[in-house]
Amino acid sequence: MNCCVVGLQWGDEGKGKVVDILAENSDVVVRYAGGANAGHTVIIGDEKFALHIMPSGAVRKDMNCVIGNGVVFDPEIFIGELKGLSDRDISLEGRLFISENAHVVLDYHKAEDQHRENALGKNKLGTTIRGIGPCYADKIGRSFAVRMADFRDLDQLKEKLERIVSYKNKVFTALYDAEPISAADIFEKCKGYAAALTPYITNTTKYLHEGIEAGKRLLFEGAQGALLDIDHGTFPFVTSSNASALGMSPGCGVPSSMVDKFIGVVKAYSTRVGAGPFPTELDNEIGETIREKGHEYGTTTGRPRRCGWFDAVAVRYTVAIGGVNEIAMMHMDTLAGFDELKICKAYKVNGVETTFFPSDAVELSSVECVYETMPGWSEDLRGVTAYDQLPENAKNYIAAIEKIVKIPVTMVGVGPKRSQAIPKG
Ligand code: IMP
């Protein structure tokens, strides 16, 4: 069985935990999109692992891990994670494979991300400033791209960097009045990256297809969420990759027909970080309560997350575009204690009701939400170990969502630990 785990909202749904659980029955975990803008938290026992670029499966000592060609790879952050895991006696040697075709995020990408955001002022996108957009732009533009394979030939890389940095400096100084950056400094860093990373760089497409032939079970791990997808998300307030399930095939070279199950991860409510329309946003005391109870602060940037009611119109859309088969619903415990809860079941656009999600940011900003109101529950769910133990109102809440999004919820999260995810038949 090959599975793909994707976020169905604006990211931070709890994919890391779901991947970590499913990894038990997998041989290889494959990260295929995004970069160090992601933040996956895995809690095992008393240990908390916050990973940005490393596949979540890395914390299991016997798991093989692939970073596919679709990832924009930040060597500095990655090497820090490698060391953090090694300090905890977790070695990746011989079981981590990084695509030679993955593009490399370097200092000038992060500088460009920051300069652009500053230049946009109040219209900024609210990026993570991890250089994601500029690196994907260089990938598509081709002329200034650096890929992992370039670390194999340092003489050529030196020449390439001099050419790229000279161009970037012209842009930085002319457009942003910024300090030029040094190609020599970046090259020095690259020499260190090459020494640390060369043993892991390989043809991961070949590795995956050989694995498929040998009957290995693959687990594909999406980053961010489908509403941040560059093509199908709330453009321009999106990330620069196909963060929906659609990014899987181009991001690792394995067709989606080889995936037996697409599992979509949602929170029992909605959150969003950064700018952009958010129809069910609760810019009030209820939203603040959810933020505090759910610890809704960014893993990567520490920014407070915007919180809102569950948007079933949005999730129905991301289920449809991704061909998602079932849902893992996280953070049910966070919703305990509210007298009533709301689920957005339709939008009104110019007074006309629709259940189809308009991804265009301007249109989405003007919708009015039509809610179904459900009674809440007061019981603390964190000790619940079986679906039957959930209060009736919690079960009804899940059933109401299943009815609108038209696929079943098969896992319910009642706390951050691996053990706090209960199966639902
Ligand atoms: P970028 O990916 O850094 O360019 O940021 C673009 C948008 O995506 C911003 O609104 C970010 O806050 C958001 N974003 C990027 N990665 C994540 C994530 O892992 N979780 C939630 N939001 C994210």
Residue 418's pLDDT is what?
Answer: 84
* pLDDT of amino acid 274: 87
Task: Report, at the CATH architecture level, how domain 103-199 is classified.
Answer: Orthogonal Bundle (1.10)
Cα 82 from chain centre: 19
Q: Which of 20, 40, 138, 150 is catalytic?
A: 40
Could you state, in chain order, the average pLDDT of each consecutive group of 10 residues for the chain (425 residues)? 97 92 94 93 77 90 96 97 92 96 98 96 94 98 97 98 97 94 97 97 98 97 96 96 97 97 98 95 97 91 94 98 97 97 96 93 95 98 96 98 97 92 91
Residue 56: predicted pLDDT: 86
- The reply to whether the predicted model has a pTM over 0.85 is yes
In 3D space, the residue among 364, 370, 365 whose CA is nearest the CA of residue 342 turns out to be 370
What pLDDT sits at residue 358? 93
Residue closest via CA to ligand 1's atom 19 equals 38
CA dihedral 63, 66, 72, 78 (to 10 degrees): 40
Biggest alpha carbon distance in the chain? 66
Q: What is the pLDDT of residue 46?
A: 78
For 255, residues 6+ apart whose C-beta sits below 8 A from its C-beta are 249
Beta bridge partners of 348: 353, 368
Contact 53, 36 (CB under 8 A): yes
Q: How far is the CA of 384 from the centre of ligand 1 (A)?
A: 32
| Catalytic, out of 12, 20, 150, 333 | 12
Has 40 been annotated as catalytic?
yes
How much is the pLDDT for 254? 98
CA of 201 relative to ligand 1 center, distance in Å? 26
Q: Tell me the domain boundaries of the chain.
A: 3-90+204-423, 103-199
Res 362: pLDDT: 92
pLDDT of residue 47: 79
Q: Name the closest-CA residue to atom 9, ligand 1.
A: 127
Q: Which pairing describes strands 40-44 and 64-67: parallel, antiparallel, or unpaired?
A: unpaired
**Single-letter residue type at 379:** E
* Fold match between domain 3-90+204-423 and domain 103-199: no
**What pLDDT, on the 0 to 100 scale, is given for residue 40?**
82
CA-228 nearest atom, ligand 1 = 8
d(CA 388, ligand 1 centre) in Å: 36
CATH number of 3-90+204-423: 3.90.170.10
C-beta of residue 244 within 8 angstroms of C-beta of residue 238? no
Distance from Cα 140 to the centre of ligand 1, integer Å: 19
Task: Report the nearest-CA residue for atom 11 of ligand 1.
Answer: 127
Assess whether 155 carries a catalytic annotation: no
* Ligand 1 touching residue 241 (CB < 6 A): no
